[in-house]
Structure 1
């Protein structure tokens, strides 16, 4: 008799626990579905009924294909095999209510094997509000991208206007040295304008490809000095390196200064030669720039650190004070400048 009473107490306790569990499942915020391997709905909670507008009895007579317009029988088989192999899955899909409305949902599926049955216990969360917020954010981002692209475009155009004004001013200048100073200033403006042009054309408005930028800049400088590839060849050894505008601008000015200096002084009297530029980046993010030419070399006793040359002083200051890097000069055979620096947050494209 005591054993019978104990059994009754245990049964009552188990029944109460089952009712409590059922109450909890029915009142969770997410819809809960139990489905078998054939996509037949085996059980649901009250939230699922409220979300889709069906009674529990109606849902138990439906399959996944009735409530999910994106799921086909073939897709279900693939999803079931994947769930069985992984144990858990999370995906986004759509549910169709009884009155035909479409609700975006996030599904957290769980594979369960119990009592000889294989089931998918899926929690479905209505993500309508999340999708609306995402659409607003996407619209806001597109608007900002348009404004930023327009800003780059106008900045480039304004710099082009300044360059054109210099062209007009040069016409009235007779002193050759003054003309050279104007042209050097014009090349610096072009180097900065090209950054904005590249960013305007880029899909990524915050970064540009340093390799493409350096190639276009070098060709523009050769054209500016009216030098053909037959006389001065340009060799570029570079990988795809993505840099921000804060890095691209000083890099462009450095390359422009070094190349202008080489074009002016390294190949006198129509001498033929080669200018080389190497751009590489380590796994740690350090960017390595090597600029060299095979011209006549620097004057004997040339002091790189003490020179009064505006261009070379600009190169040193941009490297050490803006890029926070290092610069070395090797003039034993050819003239080579070696620059190294590291962006705080770098990106490398393979």
Structure 2
């Protein structure tokens, strides 16, 4: 062992060869002066083949032209830091194979003058694990995408079957009931369609959902579509699907009720749907209209329509509260917290 190696060993300590990371020491000219056993194993060289050679031998050829510049930049501001921050770095083994690395460089003062100590982490296993995780997540995303697509299609089939049933029924009350059921199915189908289109299977963009649902409800009650304005303010709120489906059904029921009962005789007015979310997760959904008011003597708990009973049931499912204002304007306000219900 040369005198230089002895003095470097005294500086680096006896643990140099036992440290479980690859370590390479180079001088300011970029010449390799020392490496530990793990560095030999990582790069596939015995130490005698690397000592005295430029460190660029461990760098893929396409990157070698830039490497001296990086080294000089480090020497100009010699503080410990990661090398190539923000860039994917690669090492080159003796057999010509490349592998991903992370490098930390540290200035050291030795009896032979200033040196650069490089700590090299082989990221091959980590990258492979990340790749496997990414592939597994992608498979799950594709599966969820297919599930939501199939759910939407199945609901559309049910909707079409109800269409066929309506053609065979002459009772207008039964026809209305079936149309209401179709609207509920369409509402759930649209939520799945929103998920399918956005590829975000955890959150439903409620603004987008309302933008698709409300025009179809207006079309369903075409007799008032020219007289009733629809105003939406959802502030780009996104809801988990467990909350989005009940909220979507509530909007469907209350807007449908307003269109059916609030604007008889071509009465003009507006329906407003608002959704806002606080930073603590509390959500407020309001559906209001300036149409015909709810009579003060009507018992909504006992004598309400099936739609209102469904709204109350969904409110309990969300573990929320429902506040009803009967006039000036008629307004239903639902408040709940995200994730509260199972």
Q: Which residue of 2 aligns with 1:335?
A: 330
Instruction: Give the 3 Å change call, closer, same or farther, for CA 312–31 of structure 1 in structure 2.
Output: same
The separation in 1 between residues aligned to 2:114 and 2:325, in whole angstroms, is: 73
- TM-aligned CA deviation for residue 230 of structure 1: 3.5
Q: Find the counterpart in structure 2 of residue 122 from structure 1.
A: 118
State the match for 1:99 in structure 2: 95
TM norm structure 1: 0.83
- Distance change in 2, residues 1:255/1:119 (3 Å): farther
Question: What is the CA–CA distance in structure 1 between the aligned matches of 2:330 and 2:126, rounded to whole Å?
Answer: 59
Q: Secondary structure at the match of 2:238?
A: strand
What is the alpha-carbon distance in structure 1 between the residues aligned to residue 72 and residue 279 of structure 2? Answer: 39
Residue 300 of structure 1 corresponds to which residue in structure 2?
Answer: 296
Structure 2, unaligned runs of 5 or more: 1-5
Q: Secondary structure at the match of 2:94?
A: coil
**Counterpart residue number, 1:325:** 320
Quick check: 1:37–1:80 contact (8 Å CA) kept in 2?
no
CA deviations on 1:36-57 (whole Å, 9 max, x unpaired) are 6675545321211221123435
Query: When the two structures are superposed, what TM-score results if normalisation uses the length of structure 2?
Result: 0.85
For 1:112, which of 89, 107, 112 is the aligned residue?
107
In structure 2, the partner of 1:249 is 245
Task: Note the residue ranges of structure 1 that are not aligned, 5 or more in a row.
Answer: 1-14, 346-350
For residues 246-268 of structure 1, what are the alpha-carbon distances to aligned partners after superposition, in whole Å with 9 as ceiling and x for unaligned? 11110110100010000100100
State the partner residue of 1:50: 41
Contact 2:294 2:327 in 1 (8 A): no
Equivalent residue in structure 2 for 1:26, among 13, 17, 22? 17
Cα gap change, 1:161/1:17 in structure 2, threshold over 3 Å: closer, same or farther? same
Query: What SS does structure 2 have at the residue aligned with 1:306?
Result: helix
In 2, the alpha carbon distance for the partners of 1:20 and 1:37 equals: 17
Q: Please, what is the CA RMSD of the aligned residues?
A: 3.0
- The 10-residue stretch of structure 1 (321-330 or 27-36) with the greater mean CA deviation from structure 2: 27-36
Change (3 A) 1:136 1:293: same
Residue equivalent to 1:208: 204
Deviation digits for residues 35-81 of structure 1 (CA, Å, limit 9, x no counterpart): 46675545321211221123435434445544233573487269839
Aligned to 1:10: none
Q: Structure 1's 120 and 215: CA in aligned 2 closer, same or farther, altered over 3 A?
A: farther
The worse-fitting range, judged by mean Cα deviation, of 309-318 and 226-235 is 226-235
Specify the SS of the correspondent of 1:239. Answer: coil
- CA distance, structure 1, for counterparts of residue 163 and residue 117 of structure 2: 74
- Deviation, structure 1 residue 111: 3.4
Alignment partner of 1:89 is 2:82: yes
Greater than 6 Å deviation, 4+ residue runs: none
CA distance in 2, matches of 1:95, 1:241: 46
Change (3 A) 1:169 1:39: farther
CA–CA separation in structure 2 for the residues paired with 1:35 and 1:76: 14
Change (3 A) 1:82 1:221: farther
Match of 1:157 among 153, 157, 163: 153
Q: Distance in 2 between matches of 1:59 and 1:324?
A: 69
Distance 2:28 2:270 in 1: 70
Maintained 8 Å contact 2:108/2:117: no
CA shift, 1:232, in A, is 1.6
* Residues 1:220 and 2:216 aligned together: yes
State the SS of the aligned residue for 1:234.
strand
Deviation at 1:177, TM superposition (A): 0.8
User: 1:59-74 maps to which residues of 2 (within 5 A)?
Assistant: 59-69=50-60, 70=63, 72-73=66-67
